Copies of this chain bind each other. A is one copy, B any other.
Amino acid sequence: VPNVRLEDVARVAGVSTKTVSNVVHGYTHVRAETRARVERIIAELGYRPNVTARRLATGRTGMLALAFSDVGLPYFAELARVIGQEATRRGYRLLLEQTDGTLDREREIVSDREAGLVDGVIFQPGALTATEIAQHARDVPMVILGEGKAPVGVDHVMVDNIAASIEATSHLLALGRRRIAFVGHESPTPSATSLWRLEGYREALARAGLSVDSGLLFATEAISADAADAAIGAALDAGASFDGLVCRDDLAAVGSLRALQDRGVTVPDDVAVVGWDDISMAAFTRPSLTTIAPDLRELAVVALDLLEQRIAGETGLGRHRITGYRLVIRESAPRAN
C-alpha cells in the first residue's frame, strides 16, 4: 500500500507542504478557498498524518507512561481509570507499564533506557527507594505517586497516610474498641505505605493512652485478600482476641471479613473493621466496608498538573503535594452511638 504523504497531498492540491500542514493543524492563516481544496484532496486521497514522523520533528510524543505493580489490583485499576481520563482530557495517550513491584522492572521504568518514548512518567514505586530512584533516574519528567520518599529533584503526590490512619483508628476508638489490631503490612519487609499506616495506627492508640500490643499486628505475605484471610485465620485459631481491626487496604479487609466470619466472629459487633482505598467493591461486601477513600480525581489532576509543568520546562526542586481523602462510614464500623 503506497502510503499517502503530506507531500502527495501538496502536489495534487498544487500547494506547498507547509500549507497542507497548516490546514491539517487548523491554523487560521489559510485562505478559505485553499483550505477547502486541500481538505477535499485529503479526503480523496485518504491522507492520514503519520504520528511517528511528527514526533521526530517536534520531539514530543503526546504519550505518558503510567507505571505501577499490577492493574489487576482494584486500587490500581481504579487509579488507571481516572488517570487515563485525565490524560485524555489533556490530549495525552497512556502507556501502561506493569512492574509487578520487582526491582528490575522498576529500575527500567526510572532509567528510561530508550529516549523519546514518552513525554513524562507517572510512577508508583513498590520496591525502589528514593536513593535508587535518584541513582537511576534520567531526565524524563516524572512524578512519583504513593507513600515512598521521592528524591529531592522529583515531584511527589500522596495522601497524608498518618493523618488518615489516625482518623481510621480513632473511629474505632470512638466506637469504644480498645483491643485494636492491624493487618496487612507485608512480611518480612513492610512497604513504606504500610509503615505510614502503622505509624498512624500507633499514634492514634497513643493519643488514647493505649500502647500497641505487638501480638495484634498481623503481617501478611502479600497484598491480597487471600493473604489477609490466611493471616487473620491463623491469628484467630491461635487465640488472638481483638474488637477492632485496621486494615492496610480493602483487599486485606475483604480477606479479614471472610476469616472472621468463617469462625463465627460477627462484624461489626464482635470486631469493627476499617479498610483503605474505597475500591468499588467496598460498598458491596457484607457488611459493607468503612474505609479511607482517597480522592483519586484530585490525585490525578495534581499529578498531571505537576507533570505538565515539568514537560513545559519547569526545573527546580521536587514539589511535594498532599491530596485529600475522607473516611467513608459503612456497616463494618458504623458511626458511633
| CB proximity to B under 8 Å, residues A28-86 | 48-53, 55-56, 61, 63, 66, 70-74, 76-78, 80-82, 84-85
Q: Of the listed stretches A9-17, A199-207, A277-285, name the one at the interface; the rest are far from the partner chain.
A: A277-285
Closest residue of chain B to A76, judged by CB?
Answer: B77
Instruction: Take A50-B114, A61-B52, A95-B96 as given contacts and tell me if A80 and B88 are in contact as well, using a CB distance cutoff of 8 Å.
Output: no
Instruction: Take A50-B116, A51-B117 as given contacts and tell me if A81 and B85 are in contact as well, using a CB distance cutoff of 8 Å.
Output: no
Q: How far is the CA of A139 from the CA of B49 in the complex (A)?
A: 14
Instruction: Take A85-B98, A93-B95, A286-B258 as given contacts and tell me if A115 and B48 are in contact as well, using a CB distance cutoff of 8 Å.
Output: yes
| CB proximity to B under 8 Å, residues A81-115 | 81-82, 84-85, 88, 93-98, 112-115
* Contact, CB under 8 Å: A255 / B284: yes
* Contact, CB under 8 Å: B55 / A52: yes
Instruction: Take A71-B84, A139-B1 as given contacts and tell me if A254 and B284 are in contact as well, using a CB distance cutoff of 8 Å.
Output: yes
User: A: which residues have CB within 8 A of B?
Assistant: 1, 3, 48-53, 55-56, 61, 63, 66, 70-74, 76-78, 80-82, 84-85, 88, 93-98, 112-117, 138-139, 225-226, 229, 254-255, 257-258, 261, 280-281, 283-286
